[in-house]
Structure 1
Amino acid sequence: MRKQRKLSSLWSSLVRSGRSLAGQFLLFQLVVVAVVLGAVAAVSVHQSTTEFRQLRGQRMISVAENLGSTPIVPDQIDNPMVESVLAPEVDRALNLSGADLVEIVSPAGIVEVSSDPTRVGARAELGSSDVRQGRSWSGDVTIDGTHSIVGHVPMLNSAGTVLAIISVSEGYPSIWELLSGAGARLLLYLGLGAVLGLLGSSLLARRIKRHTRGLEIDEIASLADHREALLHSIREGVVAVNPDGVITLLNDSAQELLELSDADVGKRLDDVALDPSIREFLLSGDGGRDTVIATPSRVLALNRRPATSQGQLIGTVTTMRDSTELASMQSQLTSHKSVTDTLRAQTHEFANQLHTISGLAQLGEYDAVTDFVGTLTRRRAEISDAVTQRISDPAVAALLIAKTSLAAESGVRLELNPASRLGALEPAMSTDVITVLGNLIDNAVDVSEGADKASVAIGIRNHDGLVIDVTDSGPGVPIDKRETIFARGVTSKTEVPGGRGIGLALVRLVSAQHGGTVEISDAPSGGAVFTVTLPRTGDARG
C-alpha cells in the first residue's frame, strides 16, 4: 500500500509538471521499472541469503565431522601441546573447505585450537547451539563482529561424554556480493523491463492521443470543466442515452423536468421512475423533429437526435423544454378563437335572419314577420334557459351557450344533460373548468362532425366532487390509444393527427394539478365518453 501511495503521488506530480502525455507515461513507466527492479533485487538477495544459509550450513557441519573423524584429532585432544599438534589438521580443513575459521573448543567454551592463532584461549561464540548436548548444529553466530554461518559437531568418548567441540564458520557475503552473484539476472530484467517499458509507454501514449484527439491532460481537464459548466447551466434539459438504453448524461434542467437525480445516471431507462410516454420516446427511433408530450404535471417539447463518433452510433441526445405555460397560453388563444368563431357564426346567422325579415317586410307580410321574430326569440330563450337554469357560474354558462351555436354551424347538436347542476365557482376554479370543458367540447365536435345524428352530450355534477362528462358520436377511442392520446400531442380524430392534441394534454394537466383524473370509456350508442373527476369544490356563493 505504501508503494502504491508513492506511485500515485509521483504520477500526480508528473501530471502537474507540464510534460507531454507521452513524456509523462515514459517517466512513469521508467519509475515502475525501477521499482520492479528494486523489488527483484530484494527478492534475489533474500533468496541468495537463504540458499547460502542452507547449503553452507550443511557444508560447515560436513567439514567439522570430517575433521572430528580424523584419527589424530581424538587421539591428541588431551595432549598438553594440542594447539601445536592439531594446528596442521585445522589449517588443512580450512584450506579444503573454503571456510573462514576452523576451531576446536573445549566443553567449557574455550578455544584450544584455531586457524586464527590470536583466538586461542578466548571464549568461543556458541550462540544458541545445543552441541553440548551431543548433537550437531548449524546456525547464525556473530564471531568478532562478523555475521557467520557456523557448524558445530561434538567429539564424544565411548561413554557419550563431550570431549570437545569442532566449530567451522564462514561469514555471510555482503549485499553487494549477493547482487553481483545475481548480476546476470538483474541485467536481463533491467533490459527487458526497459524495453517493455519504452515500448508500452510509446504504444499507450499513441493510443491515448488518438482517442483524445491529440489533447494533453490539462486540455482534457479544461474541456471537461467547460462541458460540465455549460450542460448544467443551460435552461433546456439534456438527456443522453447509449445504445443499451442506459442514461449517460442528465443535466440539472432535465433532472428537474423529469423529477430524477444524479443517482439515476448510469441506470437503464426501464429502471428509473419515468412517465411511460417519456420512456417510450427516449427509447424509440424517432428523431429530428419536435414532439410534444404531456405528463401529469408538465407539457414538454422534446427533440431527439442520434449521436455519432467517427461514424459509429454512440447513443442519442434528447433536448427538452417546459412548454406548460406556452400550452396554457395556446389554450387561452384557442378559447378566444372559439369566441371569435362563435361571434362569426352568430353574425352570419343574424344576417340571414335580417335578410328574411327584410324580405317579408318588402312583401308586406307583417304577420309573418311577427311570427318569425317570435320564433327566434323563443328559440334563443330556450337555449339560454336550458343552460342558465342548471349552470349558475356565468363563465361556464356563457361557454356552453357559445359552443351550442358554434356546434350547430358544424351540423352537430350540443345538449346539456337535464340532470346537470353547477353552482358559481371561484374565479380560478372557473377558469380551469372552462379550459377543461372547452377543450373536451372542441374535441367532441371535431370527431362527431359528419356522423349520422351528430351530437355531443354534456353532463356536469358538483356533489361529492366536480364530474364532467362529454359524450361524442364519433368512432370512439381504441383501448390501446387511451393513454397516448393525452401524451403525444395527438387527437382522437383519426384523420387529423396532431390537430388538437395539446387541448387534451391540457385537460389532463389541469386535472392533475387539482388532484383529479381523466378517463375514457365507450358510449352506449357508439363514440367515446371523456370523464373528468376533480376533488370536491365549493361554490363561490351559498
Structure 2
Amino acid sequence: MLSLRSLKLKTRMMLILGMMAILQTGFIGFFALVYLSQSLDEQIGLRALHVAKTIAAMPDVVEAVESRDSEWLQPISIDLASVNDARFVVIGDRNGIRLAHPSWKRVGKPMYDDEGDYNEPALVYGKPYIQKATGSLGASVRGKAPIFDSSNENVVGIISVGFMLSSVEDTINRYRDTLYLVILLSFGLSVLTGLWFASHFKKAIFGLEPEQIGHLFQERNATLESVREGIIAVNGQGNITTFNRAAIDTLGLDANTKLTGRPIEEVLPDSRLMDVLRTGEPQIDKDVWLQDRNLIVNRLPLLQNGQITGVVSSFRRKDELDAISKKLSQIEQYADTLRSQSHEYSNKLHTIAGLIQLGATDEALALIGQESQSHQALIQLLVEAVPDPILAGCMLGKYNRAKELGLNLDIDPESSMKEIPDHIPREELVSIIGNLIDNALEATLRNRKFDVRLSMTDLGNDLIFEIEDEGAGIAEKDQENIFRKGVTSKEGEGHGFGLHLVEKLLQKLGGTILLEPADTVGSRFTVYIPKARPE
C-alpha cells in the first residue's frame, strides 16, 4: 500500500490540505444543514401557530363555528390558507369534527393524524401547540389553536394551520447543493494553495524533501560534534542557535547549561559576535582573550538574499596551535641548521681535501682545529645563555647561514636570555630575531663587509635584543617609512615585508623597536619586549 512518506512533498501537501478542506467544509456544512432544518421547522411551526391563533380570534369565525356553518367556513378557510401561503386551514368543532377542509369530502369527519392525535391539548385544555405529523394531506408542520366563545371561557372549536414538510426539504436541498459546490471549490482552492505553498516552501529549503532535511540535520549534528574546534552560531536577534561540545569544553562552560535560545551577550559578553551581526564584516584568525582563555577565532556572517541572518564563529585555544607551531618552528630551524651546516662543512671538507692533496698537512690540521674550536665555543655559549631550544636553534642556523655567505655572526659572549616568559610565543620571537638577522646579513653583504653583531639580555623588565650590521646604513628621511609594507632598499619583487612583520609582531607583544646608526658603519636595531603580559 502506498504511504504518505513515499510521496513527494507537493503531493503530500495537496492531499493533506484537500482532505482538511473536505473535512472542515463537510463538518461545517452538516452542522449548518441540521441547524437550518431545525430552525426552519421551528420558524414554520411558529408561523403556523400564529396564523391559527389569529384566525381563532376572528369574531366571524367564532360565530360560524358556534353555528356549525360549514357553507361559510369552507370558502373562508381556503382563502385564509391562500393569503398566508399555508397548505391548509382546517376548522373543527369542539368535538374535533371538521367544519372546513380543503377537500369537501372530508368535511364532517373527525380530525386526527397517523400518530393518533385527537387535538386533546387544544380541545380539552385550551392550549395552542405546534405539531409535526402526517395527516390526510401528507406530512406537515401544524399550528393548532383553540376557539373560545364570546365569554372567552369555553372551547367551541379548533383551528389547524399546516405547512408541508416537502417545502422545508426543498429549501434544505437547495442549501445542500450550494454546500456541495462550496466543498468542491474549497478542495480545488486547497489543492492550488498546496501547490503554491509547497513550491514556495521547497524553494526555501533548496528543493529538499523532509526526509533529506532530517538526514542532513543528523549529518550536521554529527559533524559539529566530530570537529575539535568550538562552534557557536547566533541568529539575527543575537540568540544562540547552534553550539557543539567542543565549544562548551573550550570556553569552560557548564555542560548542563542550556544555551539554545539564550542571548549571546548574556552567555559570552565579550564574544564580539554582535559586531559582526551589525557590520557584516568577517573576522579571520583573530587572536582574542575570552573566558580567561587565549583563542584564535573566526567569525563569519550568514547571508540570505543579501540580508544578514546570523553569525557563526569557530575557535580554538591558541596554546594548541602554539604547540603545533612550536614543533613546526623547531623542525624548520633544525632543517635550516642542518642545511647550512651541510653546505658549510661540504666547503670545509673540500678545502681540507685540497690541502691534503697539496701536501699541506699542517695547514689542514690547523683548519680542522680552528673550525672545531669555533663551533664548540658557539654551542657552549648558546647552551649556557639561551636554554630555549627554538631560539637557540634559530641563532645556530643564522650563524651557519652567515658562514655560507662568507660573513661572521658575532654573538656577544655576555649575552643572557634565560627568562623568557611562557606567554611569549616562541615562533613569534624567532620571526622577529630571524628577520632582523637576515636583513643585517644582506645589508652587510651588499656593502662588502663581514661582521654582524648580536647581543641580548633578559635583565630587568624587558627582553632586549641588539642586532648591528655593517651595511650602508639607512638615510634619516627613509627611517620613518622603513617599517611600512613594501618599503625596501632591495631590488626586485617580493621584498619589503620582513620589517613590517617585525613591527606588527612587536605591537602584538607590546614591544618596541629602535633604529639608530651603528658606532662605525651600518645600522643598529634594538628590540624591547616586556616580560609582563600586554593588556
Structure 2-normalised TM-score? 0.52
Amino acid at match of 2:296: A
Partner Cα distance (2:412, 2:200) in 1: 70
Gaps of 5+ in 1: 1-12, 338-383, 385-397, 416-432, 459-469, 475-492, 505-526, 533-542
Partner Cα distance (1:130, 1:20) in 2: 72
Aligned partner (choices 222, 231, 249) of residue 256 of structure 1: 249
Aligned to 1:65: 54
Q: Deviations over 1:383-430 (max 9, x none)?
A: x9xxxxxxxxxxxxx99xx99xx9xx8999999xxxxxxxxxxxxxxx
Aligned to 2:234: 241
Could you tell me how far 1:230 is from its partner in structure 2? 2.5
**Measured at CA, do residues 99 and 16 of structure 1 come closer, stay the same or move farther in structure 2, by a change above 3 Å?**
same
Q: Deviations over 1:209-256 (max 9, x none)?
A: 322333333333333333233333433222223455443322332233
Aligned partner (choices 213, 222, 228) of residue 220 of structure 1: 213
Aligned to 1:508: none
Q: Is the 8 A contact 2:41 2:168 kept in 1?
A: no
Aligned to 1:418: none
Aligned to 1:37: 25
Pair 1:298-2:293 in alignment: yes
Aligned to 2:504: 497
Aligned to 2:39: 50
**Measured at CA, do residues 87 and 271 of structure 1 come closer, stay the same or move farther in structure 2, by a change above 3 Å?**
same
Aligned to 2:267: 272
Q: Is the 8 A contact 2:277 2:301 kept in 1?
A: no
**Measured at CA, do residues 120 and 303 of structure 1 come closer, stay the same or move farther in structure 2, by a change above 3 Å?**
closer
Aligned partner (choices 108, 113, 119) of residue 98 of structure 2: 113
Amino acid at match of 1:254: A
Aligned to 1:155: 147
Aligned partner (choices 210, 215, 222) of residue 229 of structure 1: 222
Partner Cα distance (2:463, 2:420) in 1: 18
Equivalent runs, 1:410-449 vs 2, <5 Å: none
Pair 1:320-2:315 in alignment: yes
Could you tell me how far 1:118 is from its partner in structure 2? 5.8
Could you tell me how far 1:23 is from its partner in structure 2? 1.8
Aligned to 2:11: 23
CA RMSD of aligned residues (A): 6.0
Partner Cα distance (2:142, 2:112) in 1: 18
Structure 1-normalised TM-score? 0.51
Q: Deviations over 1:488-542 (max 9, x none)?
A: xxxxx996334595899xxxxxxxxxxxxxxxxxxxxxx989499xxxxxxxxxx
Q: Identity of paired residues, percent?
A: 19
**Measured at CA, do residues 103 and 456 of structure 1 come closer, stay the same or move farther in structure 2, by a change above 3 Å?**
farther
Q: Deviations over 1:334-377 (max 9, x none)?
A: 9999xxxxxxxxxxxxxxxxxxxxxxxxxxxxxxxxxxxxxxxx
Partner Cα distance (2:309, 2:424) in 1: 45
Partner Cα distance (1:125, 1:91) in 2: 21
Partner Cα distance (2:463, 2:23) in 1: 83
Partner of 1:235, secondary structure, is coil
Partner Cα distance (1:336, 1:19) in 2: 59
Partner Cα distance (2:254, 2:18) in 1: 46
Partner of 2:207, secondary structure, is coil
Aligned to 1:99: 87
Q: Is the 8 A contact 2:33 2:176 kept in 1?
A: no
Equivalent runs, 1:360-439 vs 2, <5 Å: none
Q: Deviations over 1:94-123 (max 9, x none)?
A: 5764336735474xxx63438574645965
Amino acid at match of 1:28: I
Aligned to 2:191: 198
Amino acid at match of 1:159: S
Aligned to 2:131: 141
Aligned to 1:362: none
Partner Cα distance (1:410, 1:51) in 2: 116
Partner Cα distance (1:67, 1:437) in 2: 113
Pair 1:181-2:174 in alignment: yes
Greater radius of gyration (CA): 2
Could you tell me how far 1:161 is from its partner in structure 2? 0.7
Partner Cα distance (2:123, 2:463) in 1: 112
**Measured at CA, do residues 173 and 45 of structure 1 come closer, stay the same or move farther in structure 2, by a change above 3 Å?**
farther
Q: Is the 8 A contact 2:300 2:313 kept in 1?
A: yes
Q: Is the 8 A contact 2:230 2:245 kept in 1?
A: yes
**Measured at CA, do residues 283 and 266 of structure 1 come closer, stay the same or move farther in structure 2, by a change above 3 Å?**
farther
Equivalent runs, 1:474-489 vs 2, <5 Å: none
Partner Cα distance (2:239, 2:284) in 1: 22
Amino acid at match of 1:141: Q
Could you tell me how far 1:193 is from its partner in structure 2? 2.4
Partner of 1:289, secondary structure, is strand
Q: Is the 8 A contact 1:149 1:169 kept in 2?
A: yes
Gaps of 5+ in 2: 333-383, 396-410, 437-455, 466-499, 512-528
Aligned to 2:477: none
Partner of 1:221, secondary structure, is helix
Equivalent runs, 1:282-297 vs 2, <5 Å: 287=282, 289-297=284-292
- Which deviates more from structure 2 when the two are superposed, residues 193-202 or residues 82-91? 82-91
Q: Deviations over 1:466-494 (max 9, x none)?
A: xxxx57999xxxxxxxxxxxxxxxxxx99
Could you tell me how far 1:181 is from its partner in structure 2? 2.5
Q: Is the 8 A contact 1:68 1:166 kept in 2?
A: no
- Which deviates more from structure 2 when the two are superposed, residues 115-124 or residues 50-59? 115-124
Q: Is the 8 A contact 1:240 1:315 kept in 2?
A: yes
**Measured at CA, do residues 169 and 287 of structure 1 come closer, stay the same or move farther in structure 2, by a change above 3 Å?**
same
Q: How many residues align?
A: 387
